[in-house]
């Protein structure tokens, strides 16, 4: 039976006109009454300099004749006029106390108030609230102080697993990075651990297995909070549109996927020894979007993707993984959601969200098993294009008509992720879901990075001259020449975004530039060949791939050096 959350969850504030909440959740075995109070902090409207917020307090302790809720801001937010509460602010600390007419707060009762506020920069949401000195949204054992959980002790389920936590540094990747000239500058960064075949669970050769990584995560955790990132990546008929990342399981081997891959992973993650870790799973990249964009009569369709849509094993596999992994109380499932250059078009955007909902309610899973979504995994889409927006125009011609944008609704990954989050909620996902963006290779710095908008000769010179993403075509995905490291991993960087992450470890190849015999089930994809002239999925353009690349997942020193050289922000 799938996990259900027993308390209000938090969501991050969204862009203008959207709503979000900011609350933490609790472990599944903690009843709602064990939480002394909950605070639902929802940004109802946000613009460039201000926002409107609604706050609801629920009291689960003894009845009150007066109340005061407190929180602090991480930024420069300044509360202005409010209603249904007397609101004061000192520095970053805010106190909202009852009015004379709403001081009574019964056990189980709620009261609401709101306010307008100003800000500049980022409107980061408050993460901790107290009601009359008692921390809300967590089980404090009945109003007393809490003790930080240690190794093997279950922690409190939180809205954002990255908030207030260290993130696991994979020692195997770290050693490879540190061995590169200049690599020590980033070798302490957290990256994803890829479980890309059954043997990876126990460890292949001398490589660490899943338990090895979890044990090392406990060591790194110490008495702090720590999140470890796992990539669940072994669907039957995996990556039906790209041979370089094909997997070991054939299109019909759904039973092996369940019993030999997901079940053993779930059993290990459920070991009480690891209960204090925040285990973040990225579930099956490059799978569900293929069912939308690369099937049927579309010019981008492949026979392999048609097979996977017909047999339903992508939907079944993702649903089964979400169900089984979601049963583990300290697992946070994030489903892969492609990227803006894949599903940002009108005919893909809503259809993709619907397909994701289908998978999230298959094989016993429910939307409660989905903590959020991740975009741009192992891809190169620029985080934010500052030199133009989707609303820009040149001589009356919209940037959407440029060859690069090609009628897409989004020009960068941040705007797409925030908008797609809204779409996902609209089809039935919980309003608390958060987004992750993989920024491991989308910095596009170095000497080729534009310093301003392009020439206004026409819409193409304007977009091409100003865009940070220097790929030949947005459909190019393999070992892209000129790419750089992007934003460093960080929690809560923007509204609706749980974290920027390096889920794809920088320096690990996307695929080999020529055929290489292997026992990993990985084929040769011409998109990894720098001499390839393309296919409909990249507009029949050159592949833009680096030469002499190894098999996907293998170390690619030349790429690693280029990523450091072109990093933005620079190293």
Reduce the DSSP state of residue 204 to 3 states and report it: coil
Is the model's pLDDT at 140 over the cut of 80? no
Residue 535 φ then ψ, to 5°: -150, 180
Is the model's pLDDT at 21 over the cut of 50? no
Residue-level pLDDT at 42: 85
- For residue range 311-348, list pLDDT tens digits in order: 999 999 999 999 999 999 999 999 999 999 999 999 99
Contact 421, 353 (CB under 8 A): no
Closest CA to 227 of 161, 177, 183: 161
Q: What is the DSSP string of 519-558?
A: SS-----GGG-TT----GGGTT----BPSS--STTSB-HH
Reduce the DSSP state of residue 87 to 3 states and report it: strand
Query: Confidence class of residue 156 from pLDDT cuts 50, 70 and 90?
Result: low
Residue-level pLDDT at 152: 52
Q: Is 286 a catalytic residue?
A: yes
Is the model's pLDDT at 179 over the cut of 70? yes
- For residue range 409-455, list pLDDT tens digits in order: 999 999 999 999 999 999 999 999 999 999 999 999 999 999 999 99
Judged on CB neighbours under 10 Å (0-12, 13-18, 19+), 540 is: exposed
- For residue range 502-511, list pLDDT tens digits in order: 999 999 999 9
Residue-level pLDDT at 227: 98
Is the model's pLDDT at 91 over the cut of 90? no
**Taking residues 197-223, what's their average pLDDT?**
95
Q: 159, 286, 327, 438: which one is catalytic? A: 286
Is the model's pLDDT at 143 over the cut of 80? no
Residue-level pLDDT at 139: 55
Q: Is 40 a catalytic residue?
A: no
Residue-level pLDDT at 320: 97
Q: 132, 139, 498, 510: which one is catalytic? A: 510
Q: pTM of this prediction?
A: 0.75
Handedness of CA 215, 220, 223, 227 (dihedral sign): negative
Is the model's pLDDT at 1 over the cut of 80? no
Q: Would you say how long the chain is, in residues?
A: 571
């Amino acid at each position: 039976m799938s996990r259900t959350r027993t308390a209000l969850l938090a969501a991050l504030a969204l862009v203008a006109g959207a709503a979000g909440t900011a609350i933490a959740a609790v472990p599944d075995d903690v009843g709602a009454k064990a939480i002394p109070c909950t605070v639902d902090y929802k940004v109802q409207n946000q613009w460039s300099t201000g926002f409107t917020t609604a706050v609801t307090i629920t009291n689960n302790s003894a009845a009150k004749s007066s109340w005061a809720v407190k929180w602090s801001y991480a930024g420069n937010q300044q509360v202005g006029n409010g209603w249904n509460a007397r609101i004061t602010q000192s520095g970053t600390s805010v106190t909202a106390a009852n009015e004379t007419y709403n001081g009574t707060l019964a056990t189980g009762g709620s009261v609401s108030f709101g306010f307008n506020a100003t800000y500049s920069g980022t409107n980061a949401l408050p993460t901790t609230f107290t009601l009359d000195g008692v921390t809300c949204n967590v089980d404090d054992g009945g109003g007393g102080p809490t003790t930080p959980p240690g190794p093997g002790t279950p922690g409190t389920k939180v809205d954002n697993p990255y908030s207030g936590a260290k993130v696991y540094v994979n020692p195997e990747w770290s050693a490879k990075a540190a061995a590169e000239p200049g690599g020590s500058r980033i070798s302490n960064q957290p990256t994803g651990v890829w479980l890309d075949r059954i043997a990876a669970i126990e460890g292949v050769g001398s490589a660490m297995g899943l338990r090895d990584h979890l044990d090392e995560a406990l060591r790194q955790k110490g008495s702090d909070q720590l999140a470890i990132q796992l990539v669940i990546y072994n669907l039957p008929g995996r990556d039906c549109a790209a041979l370089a990342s094909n997997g070991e399981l054939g299109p019909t081997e759904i039973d092996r996927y369940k019993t030999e891959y997901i079940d053993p992973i779930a059993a290990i993650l459920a070991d009480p020894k690891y209960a204090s870790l925040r285990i973040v799973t990225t579930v099956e990249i490059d799978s569900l979007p293929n069912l939308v964009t690369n099937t049927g009569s579309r010019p981008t369709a492949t026979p392999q993707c048609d097979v996977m849509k017909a047999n339903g094993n992508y939907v079944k596999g993702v649903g089964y993984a979400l169900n089984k992994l979601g049963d583990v109380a300290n697992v946070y499932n994030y489903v892969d959601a492609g990227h803006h250059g894949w599903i940002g078009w009108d005919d893909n955007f809503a259809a993709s969200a619907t397909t994701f909902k289908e998978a999230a309610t298959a094989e016993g899973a429910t939307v409660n098993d989905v903590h959020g979504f991740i975009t741009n995994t192992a891809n190169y889409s620029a985080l934010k294009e500052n030199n133009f927006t989707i609303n820009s125009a040149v001589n009356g011609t919209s940037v959407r008509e440029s060859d690069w944008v090609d009628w897409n609704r989004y020009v960068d990954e941040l705007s797409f992720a925030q908008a797609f989050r809204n779409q996902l909620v609209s089809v039935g996902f919980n309003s608390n879901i958060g987004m992750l963006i993989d920024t491991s290779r989308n910095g596009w710095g170095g000497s080729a990075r534009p310093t301003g908008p392009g020439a206004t000769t026409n819409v193409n010179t304007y977009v091409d001259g100003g865009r940070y993403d220097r790929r030949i075509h947005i459909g190019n995905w393999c070992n892209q020449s000129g790419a750089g490291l992007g934003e460093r991993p960080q929690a809560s960087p923007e509204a609706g975004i749980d974290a920027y992450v390096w889920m794809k470890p920088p320096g690990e190849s996307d695929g080999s530039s020529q055929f290489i015999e292997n026992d990993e089930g990985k084929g040769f994809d011409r998109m990894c060949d720098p001499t390839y002239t393309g296919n409909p999925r990249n507009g029949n353009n050159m592949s833009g791939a680096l030469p002499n690349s190894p098999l996907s997942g293998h170390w690619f020193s030349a790429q690693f050096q280029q990523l450091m050289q072109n990093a933005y922000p620079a190293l």
